[in-house]
Amino acid sequence: MKEDPDIEILKAKKMQEIMQRMRKQKKENIEKGIRKRDLSEREILLSYLYDRGDEVLNLAESQFPTETRAITNRIVELINIGEINRKISGGELLSLFRSLGLNVKINTTIKIEEHGKYVSFAEKLKQSKENDDK
């Protein structure tokens, strides 16, 4: 049973549109890859980090330089081939390093708001102890 000629024409037009979109996407991906190669691997990774990700990367580099370089190279490879296409938070990066056996030490402080100012938790404990002793 033959299909209607109008349907054949519509199918051909649709196929042509799809092929044009695919060519455009391929061209954009190639240009995107070229732009990424112009940047250093560290710059590429930094562009994908947010929420203190740069701090985690700097601490990891200072504590485990060789291992961090190998891990960041692999992350950038995954970015370049499109396996990673979303931003990476500092917590996710820290979790990755720790899951790979790198116990990156992060300096943390707990601050409490008191009378419009932020006071460290240690300072707050000292104040409460002094008040209890009186």
- Write down the H helix ranges in the chain: 5-38, 41-48, 53-63, 65-80, 90-99, 121-133
Number of domains in the chain: 3
Q: What is the pLDDT of residues 109-120, one digit of tens each?
A: 888 888 888 888
What domain range includes position 57?
Answer: 40-103
- Strand-pairing partners, residue 50, are 89
Please report, for the domain that includes residue 98, its CATH number.
1.10.8.140
User: 92 and 51, same structural domain?
Assistant: yes
Ordered per-residue pLDDT tens for the chain, 134 residues: 566 788 888 888 898 998 898 888 877 776 666 555 556 788 888 888 988 889 999 999 999 989 999 999 999 888 888 888 889 999 999 999 999 998 889 888 888 888 888 888 888 888 877 777 66
**Rounded to 5°, angle at Cα 82 from 77 and 53:** 65
Amino acid at site 122: A
- Pairing status of strand 117-120 against strand 111-114: antiparallel
**pTM as predicted:** 0.57
